[in-house]
Amino acid sequence: MAESDKVVNAVMRATGESYGLVSELCMVAHETVDECVTDDISVVAPPLVIGRLGCPVLDRLLLRLGDGQWQLPESVDVTEAELSLSLMLPIETIARYPMIGRFGLLARCMDRLLIPDDDAERSLKILDAWLMTFEPSAEGTPAPYPVWALPGRDAFEGWLLARLDLLHQLGYAVRLANEEMDGVRGQQHMFVDGRRADLLFRFTADCDKGRADDWLVLESKTTAVGIGALDQLALSVDWLRAECRPGAVHGMLVADGLSLEVERGLRELRFDYQSMAALGYRRWVRQHSPLHPEAKRDVATINYPQNLSARALVAALR
């Protein structure tokens, strides 16, 4: 996976750096922003500002910029306490809705590429030039930011089933259910109404997330999702409970980002959530596939957050 030649050439002209250095850092910068956006971390690195509409921290930041009496700091990469004081929000809210700025992006890129600290200034120059490729048009229209898509659900489920230790590390001591031991199919189990569950797991021991012989229903989506994904998971959990099998039934949604409405619904229903980025799938795909796959959309899919338009952000550019 690589950044477009148009972007790489623009950054090379702005920095005078070589194609190899620029293309590698631009690619990793794009992948890093993708990981943040799909892990529901707002990116505030003007002119690139991406976050979920309705996020209280991002909304407060835009509101403060709009009043004309506050300026965007050089970077939002400060402690939660400092950001809480600056935005006048509870520290719990800051922690729940994290943000990352240009220095945070730089640190992640340098860690990924093993760039020594002595080259930080040079790397920041390239990163800033890449960010400037997203500056708004003369009319103030923000440049679109394309989140690189992931392969479909089947590819993800195969990847996860080969790495159940990831679920074990999250506190789920589970195995894939099977007809011989559990009387159900672990993949695409069909309920009486014709609905199918993506994956059914059985707990093998008491652990942080359940007890031996409990069930875990996992709904997977390789796109950002809205309330439809929560409805699908909740119905699958309800139908499995209605089958009156021994053991409690737990739910987990895995997706490539989610709306604030879904986030609140998951908390209310006490279902777990893991993003594709947090599990490591998004980075694994980028490292093993040179292709840009087509996004596999369904009724639960929503668009990824877009680069925001705000005159105050243009004024706040360095």
Q: How far is CA 176 from CA 221, 250, 279, in A?
A: 18, 14, 18
For residue 226, how many other CB atoms are within 10 A of its CB?
18
Q: Distance (Å, rounded) from C-alpha 20 to C-alpha 188?
A: 45
Report yes or no on 300 lying in a domain.
no
Query: Are 311 and 218 part of one and the same domain?
Result: no
Nearest one of 223, 239, 234 to 300, comparing CA atoms: 223
Cβ-based burial of 18 (10 A; exposed 0-12, middle 13-18, buried ≥19): exposed
Strand partners, 175: 202
Q: Do 202 and 218 contact (CB within 8 A), yes or no?
A: no
Question: Which residues does 199 contact at the CB level (< 8 Å), separation at least 6?
Answer: 157, 160, 161, 176, 186, 187, 217, 218, 220
Nearest one of 72, 76, 66 to 43, comparing CA atoms: 76
Report yes or no on 12 lying in a domain.
yes
Q: Distance (Å, rounded) from C-alpha 255 to C-alpha 276?
A: 6
How much is the pTM? 0.90
- Give residue-wise pLDDT tens across range 87-137: 889 999 999 999 999 999 999 999 999 999 999 999 999 999 999 999 888
Report yes or no on 83 lying in a domain.
yes
Report yes or no on 186 lying in a domain.
yes
- Give residue-wise pLDDT tens across range 132-179: 999 888 777 888 999 999 999 999 999 999 999 999 999 999 999 999
Q: What pLDDT shows up at residue 191?
A: 87
**Could you tell me the CATH number of the domain that includes residue 157?**
3.40.1350.10
Query: Are 132 and 207 part of one and the same domain?
Result: no
Report yes or no on 299 lying in a domain.
no
Six token digits for residue 46: 């003007």
pLDDT reading at 311 higher than 60 = no
Query: Are 121 and 46 part of one and the same domain?
Result: yes
For residue 11, give the 3-state DSSP assignment. helix
Q: What pLDDT shows up at residue 315?
A: 45
- Give residue-wise pLDDT tens across range 19-77: 999 999 999 999 999 999 999 999 999 899 999 988 999 988 888 877 666 777 777 88
Query: Are 91 and 182 part of one and the same domain?
Result: no
Helical H segments across 39-117, by residue range: 56-66, 80-87, 91-96, 102-113
Domain assignment of residue 233, given as a range = 153-288
- Give residue-wise pLDDT tens across range 252-287: 999 999 999 999 999 999 999 999 999 999 999 998
Q: Given pLDDT bands bounded at 50, 70 and 90, which one contains residue 200?
A: very high
